[in-house]
Chains A and B, each alone.
Chain A
C-alpha cells in the first residue's frame, strides 16, 4: 500500500512574526522556516505504518518555492521514500493545493493520504477536507489515533466534546492532530541517505490545474494589543480587585 503525505514549509512556531508596515502581509525575510508541526506528525505516522509493515512506499509532496525542497528532505530523512515538489512562486490557497494534490493522487494512486490538520501560518484547516471532497473519498480529520487494517481505517478524532471514532473505507484522507504521535528526529545517517532520495519537480501546468487564488488579501494588520495591567501583592488583593474594580466575581 502506498501513502502520500503532504508537507508545508512554514515560519517556525517559535518565531514572533511581524506585520509589514505597508499592510501587505507578514515579514518573512530572515526568519526561520521549518516543516509545519502537524505535517511532521503526518510524516511520522506514515513512517510508523511502514515500519509496521502496512505500507510499502511513502511519497511526500510539498508545494511552493524551491526552498520547499528542504522540507521534503526533512521528511525523506524521517523515512519517506521519495518526494514531489510542485514548484510555484505564486500564492497557493487551500482549494488550489487540494486540486494539485488530487492531480498527484490520480498519478500516484495511493491508498491513503495523510496531511496535517492545519498549517500554522494561514490557520485555514481546509486542505485535507477539500482533497477528500475532490476525490470523493472519506475523511478522518483531527486524528489522534489511526488504525489501518484490511482496506479500512479506524480514526479517533478530537472533537469539541471529546473524542469520536469513525471507520473509513480506503482510500481515504486523514488530517492529523499533534497528539497522534511524537515525531522523531532524523538521525545523521538518515539525513545523509535522504540526500540521495529522488525529488521530482512538477509545475501546476504539468498537472493541468488552475491554481489561481480565489481570495484577494486586501490588507494584513496587527491585532489589537492588550496592555499589561498591574501586579497584585496578594491573593486577598486580587480577590478585592476582581470584586470591586473589575466587578467580574
Chain B
C-alpha cells in the first residue's frame, strides 16, 4: 500500500495542514509520498522531504501549477495518483477545490473532512455541521480523502530524509486562467495554526469595534476570527470566517465575544480545548459549550480584559 498526498503550499513554503495530512496517511499504512505541484517550488519539495514519515517527494515544477488551478492540477494528480491506493489532501479550500475533480476523473467517491481513520477503507466524517458523525466504508479500490487538520496531530517537520524526484507536467486543458489574488496580510498567527483565537460575532456591531478584539488578540499573541454573520455584515474579510463552511479550528483557547453560538459556528470551533464566552445575553447558546462564561457587555468587558492582561 502506498499513499499520495497533494501538498498545500504557496510555492515558497509548505503549509502546516500538509503535516496533519501526513499523520492521517500514516494511519492508512504503507509508504507516504508527497506531490508538490508548483512553480519555482523546489524549496517546498525540500521541506516536504524533511517531514518525518515521508518516503518520497514528487516535484512537478511548471508555470501551469503556479496558482494551483484545479483543471491542470487534477490531470497531474490523476496521472500520478493511479499508481496509489489512496490520494489525500488537507481539507482546505485548495484541497476541496481539486480533490473531488480528481476523484470524478478516477471514477471513485471522494470522502470529505475525514476526522478519523478506522481502517484502510473505513473513515469517520462529520455531517449536518458536525451534529452527527458518520462512519463510512468505501467500496472503491482507490480512496480519495480530504483530511480535517484539527483531527490529526502534525507530523514532525524535520528528521526525514526522503528523496525528491522530478516528474513531468501532465498538460494544461487551457480552460482557466489566474487573474488576481487578494491575500489578507496580517502580523497575527494563521487561524488554523493559532494557539489562541479571539473571535467576534454580529454583536460586535461594526468594523471599528473589531479593533477592541484585535487589541486583546495582540496581547495574547492570538489570531482573530469571526462568525459568518460578522463577515456578511462586512466587519471583517471572509478569510476570518470560522464555521461549517468556513475554517475549522481547534486552538488551546477560543474566546468567543458577542457570538450567540449558532450550530453553524459551533461546527467550526467546538473542538477547541478551552472555550470562553463573553456575551450580554445569558441565554445565548454559546454558554452551553463554554468552559468559562462571562455575562457582560463587550464594551465594558473588552477594555477591562485588555487592562487585566497588561498587569
- Are A130 and B104 within 8 A (Cβ)? yes
A202 interfacial contact with B, CB 8 Å: no
Determine the main DSSP class of A at the interface with B. mixed
* Shortest Cβ distance from A241 into B: residue: B292
Q: Is the CB of B239 within 8 A of A161?
A: yes
Q: Are A223 and B132 in contact (CB under 8 A)?
A: yes
Distance between Cα atoms of A95 and B105 in the complex (Å): 10
* Closest chain B residue to A38, Cβ basis: B245
Expressed in whole angstroms, the minimum distance between the Cβ of B16 and any Cβ of chain A is: 12
CA distance A94 to B125 in the complex (A): 15
| CB of B252 within 8 Å of the partner chain | yes
CA A177 to CA B239, docked complex, whole Å: 13
Q: Which residue of A lies closest to B296 (CB)?
A: A235
Interface membership of B168, Cβ < 8 A: no
Contact residues in A for B74 (Cβ distance below 8 Å)? 133
SS class of chain B's interface: helix, strand, loop or mixed? mixed
Chain B: minimal CB distance from A91 (Å): 11
Q: Provide the bound-state CA to CA distance between A238 and B174, in Å.
A: 56
A166 to B294, CA, bound (A): 45
Report the bound CA distance from A138 to B182 in whole Å. Answer: 21
- When distances are taken between beta carbons in the complex, the residues of chain A under 8 Å from B231 are 179
Contact A216–B292 (Cβ < 8 Å): no
Residues of A within 8 A of B131 (CB): 16-17, 19, 223
Segment among A49-57, A67-75, A152-160, A191-199 that sits at the interface with chain B: A152-160
Residue of B127, B178, B252 touching A122 (CB-CB under 8 A): B127
Of B33-41, B58-66, B152-160, B273-281, the stretch lying at the interface with chain A is B273-281
A-B contact count (CB 8 A): 250
Chain B residue contacts of A218, Cβ below 8 A: 122, 135-137
Interface string of A118-138 (1 = CB under 8 A from B): 101111111111111110111
* B85-104 contacts to A (CB < 8 Å): 92-94, 96-104
Contact stretch, chosen from A58-66, A79-87, A105-113, A224-232:
A224-232
| Cβ-based interface call for A89 (8 A) | no
CB within 8 Å for A166 and B178 given contacts A129-B97, A161-B183 = yes
Interface centre among A163, A229, A230 (most CB of B within 10 A): A229
Q: Which of A123, A161, A168 contacts B113 (CB 8 A)?
A: A123
- Chain A residues contacting B107 (CB-CB under 8 Å) are 95
Which of the segments B21-29, B45-53, B202-210, B302-310 contacts the partner chain?
B302-310
B169 at the A interface (CB under 8 A): no
Residue on B nearest A130 in the bound complex, by CB: B104
Please determine whether A239 and B239 come into contact, CB atoms closer than 8 angstroms. Answer: no
User: A165 touching B132 by the CB < 8 A rule?
Assistant: no
